[in-house]
Amino acid sequence: MPELPEVETTRRGIAPHVINKKVRAVVIRQQCLRWPIPAALATALAGRHITRVGRRAKYLIFYLEHGSVLLHLGMSGSLRVMEAAIPPDKHDHVDIVFHDHTCLRLRDPRRFGSIHWTEQDPLQHPLLRHLGPEPLGATFTGERLYALSRGRTQSVKIFIMDSRIVVGVGNIYASEALFRSGIHPLRRAGNISLKRYGALTGAIRDVLNAALAKGGTTLRDFVGGDGAPGYFKLDLNVYDRAGEPCRVCAGNIRQIRQGQRSTYYCPRCQR
């Protein structure tokens, strides 16, 4: 699922339905996600309450009295709150079952997601510790991107998708933000002016905020029933539009490969 706006929308959707709930049991049907689910998870959670649901990058953080669950949705993960008695789908790998007979159910067909348990400050977990700033936070600035990019030879698209530089910029919104700021995705990161990095940070913020707003208005059900929430797509200018006309200049949108991922751009609008 996860671009950042989907993860944040998931957090907001499920939080009211899991906060202050007491865990009865953890049901693990498939132990092997990206990493094995910690064996201690069920014991650690039983009888405890979820006090808060947070997020860092694309990791959801479930705070309990004595520790935290880190949960990443990978490429295909989704979460729903439902009656625990509803039979699980083939790819419903984990239930956190509450005393009121509802459960938080993780579905993840590709199993690129992961679950971790920590009794330390979750933000100091090895997977979170070295992450860059949140793209919607105050420390994500053009000055910062400019400073970090000096001397870098890699392309700007790869650069802004590096989670040590800034978190939460996935493949779709990397292309979209570069389009909005008029920057060619193949341009070397170290060769871009401070002014253009200012535009790029603004574009990243705008694109994520727009998707978040859309997620808010099209908020599908994270609660009840069958199936999982689908993806919402912002109106995209370039992503998945190869060969179609640019909405600004009517030129042909191009598709290339960068680091084994597709990149889309307008060769006339982006330099």
Partner DNA sequence: ATGCGGACCTGTTAGC
Partner DNA sequence: TGCTAACAGGTCCGCA
Task: Establish whether 110 is a catalytic residue.
Answer: no
H/E run at residue 198: helix 194-217
H/E run at residue 217: helix 194-217
Catalytic residue among 24, 58, 80, 241: 58
**One residue of 67, 125, 134, 163 binding DNA per CB under 7 A:** 163
Select 26 or 169, whichever has its Cβ closest to DNA: 169
Q: Is 172 in the site for DNA (CB under 7 A)?
A: yes
Helix axes 142-149, 194-217, angle to 10 degrees: 120
Measured distance CA(24)–CA(47) in Å, rounded: 6
Q: Is 171 in the site for DNA (CB under 7 A)?
A: yes
Listing from the earlier edge strand, what are the strands of the sheet with 50-56?
50-56, 59-64, 67-72, 114-118
Q: Which of these segments, 9-17, 93-101, 133-141, 258-266, binds DNA (CB under 7 A)? A: 258-266
**One residue of 22, 101, 110, 129 binding DNA per CB under 7 A:** 110
Residue 125's identity, in one-letter code, is: H
Q: Is 226 in the site for DNA (CB under 7 A)?
A: no
For residue 79, how many C-alpha atoms fall within 13 Å in the half-sphere facing its CB?
A: 29
How many residues lie near DNA (CB under 7 A)? 39
DSSP string, 56-119: ETTEEEEEETTEEEEEE-TTT-EEEEEETTSPPPTTEEEEEEETTSEEEEEE-TT---EEEEES
Quick one: tokens of 27?
């049901």
**String of contacts with DNA for each residue 111-130, x by CB under 7 A:** xx--------------x---
Q: Which of these segments, 94-102, 106-114, 132-140, 178-186, binds DNA (CB under 7 A)? A: 106-114
Residues in contact with DNA by CB under 7 A are 1-3, 6, 32, 34, 57-58, 72, 74-76, 90-91, 109-112, 127, 151-155, 158-159, 163, 170-172, 189-190, 231-233, 259-262
Enzyme catalytic residues: 2-3, 58, 261
